[in-house]
Structure 1
Amino acid sequence: MHRTTDRLILRPPEPADLAVLFAIYGDPATNTFNPAGPMANIELAASLLDRWLAQWRDLGIGPWTIATLDAPGHPIGFGGISMHRYLDQERVNVGYRFATSAWGRGYATELTRASLASGFEEQGFSEIFALVRPAHAASIRVLEKAGMQQIDTLDDVPGAAPSRVYAISREAWAHV
């Protein structure tokens, strides 16, 4: 399912996206708040891409490949809604990762709003969640601008402060 926003093209990932996926997920800067750190090799990126392709095939959702309308053939990131298991249940989760060249331009907010719209209006989900590390102020602002509110914490990184769990319901989304 393709989707466009004012500035972005959002499309399901393809095998040809592997090199860009590894470049972004293997970049230490894009993993500043990721406790696991950057991807160590392209095989890990291929495994992640395979999981995304399976989610799209089996569930009709998953992270999109993100490009700008001005440069549709040059992905700048990956993100959208996908299924993640935490707090003892499978949850619809919004997330993203952008190349550093795309930072600071409002793309994450634009993607998050498009992801929520897709999840509620097209997929019919009743609630969408997000996980964010407590020191990641930029992503916290993105989630809050999209109308999401912190509802819980998740002690998911041993020896570190718990992640923040954000959520928004379809009813709350209708009033954002």
Structure 2
Amino acid sequence: MQLQSSRLNLRPVTASDLDDLFRIYGDPATNTFNPTGPYPDIRHAQTVLARWISHWETHRFGNWAISLQDSPERIIGFGGLSISSYADILIYNLGYRFATEAWGKGLATEFSKNSVRYGFVELKLTEISAVVRGNHLASQKVLRKAGLQYLREIHDVKDAPPSLLFSLTHSEWLRKSI
């Protein structure tokens, strides 16, 4: 299932995305707010990618490889909707990570708004959530622009400060979309 927004191309991840996944998730700069840090090696990225591909095969949705429409061969990020468990809470999780070259251009907001629309319209989800670190103000701003609201703290990473759980129900989204 490929999607397009005004500037972005989204396609399901494939095994050929391994090097791009490690380039983005292995970069210390993209992990500034991640208490577990960057991916340690390509094998770790391979394990994550296999899990993402399996999620697509099982659920028919998941993480996309993200590129700009004017340069579709260059992956600038990964993100999507996935079934995730955080602190024993099962959620439809909106997540993303962009390469530093894509920061500050509104691409995360564009991606998030389109992912929320896809989740509610195409997947018929009743609620979409996201987990963000308390000190990651830019991502919190993106989530709010996509319509999600702060619900509460959750303890999702051992020996780390709590994360913040944001959420948006389908009915709230419909009210905001009118």
TM beyond 0.5? yes
TM-score, with structure 2 as normaliser = 0.96
> Quick one: distance in 1 between partners of 2:155 and 2:89?
15
**Aligned twin of 1:27:** 27
**Structure 2 stretches lacking a partner, 5+ long:** none
> Quick one: distance in 1 between partners of 2:86 and 2:137?
22
| SS, match of residue 74 in structure 1 | strand
**Aligned twin of 2:126:** 126
TM-score, with structure 1 as normaliser = 0.97
Identity %: 46
**Aligned twin of 2:112:** 112
Matched, 1:86 2:86: yes
**Aligned twin of 2:14:** 14
1:76: Cα distance to partner? 0.2
CA deviation digits over 1:39-66, x for unaligned, max 9? Answer: 0100000000000000000001111100
| SS, match of residue 75 in structure 1 | strand
> Quick one: distance in 1 between partners of 2:167 and 2:42?
32
Residue identity opposite 2:42 in structure 1: I
> Quick one: distance in 2 between partners of 1:77 and 1:89?
26
**Aligned twin of 1:67:** 67
**Structure 1 stretches lacking a partner, 5+ long:** none
1:89: Cα distance to partner? 3.3
CA deviation digits over 1:141-163, x for unaligned, max 9? Answer: 00001110011111223443210
Superposed CA RMSD in Å reads: 1.0
CA deviation digits over 1:128-174, x for unaligned, max 9? Answer: 10000000000000000111001111122344321000000001111
Residue identity opposite 1:153 in structure 2: E
Aligned residues: 176
Residue identity opposite 1:144 in structure 2: R
**Aligned twin of 2:168:** 168
Residue identity opposite 1:124 in structure 2: K
**Aligned twin of 1:147:** 147
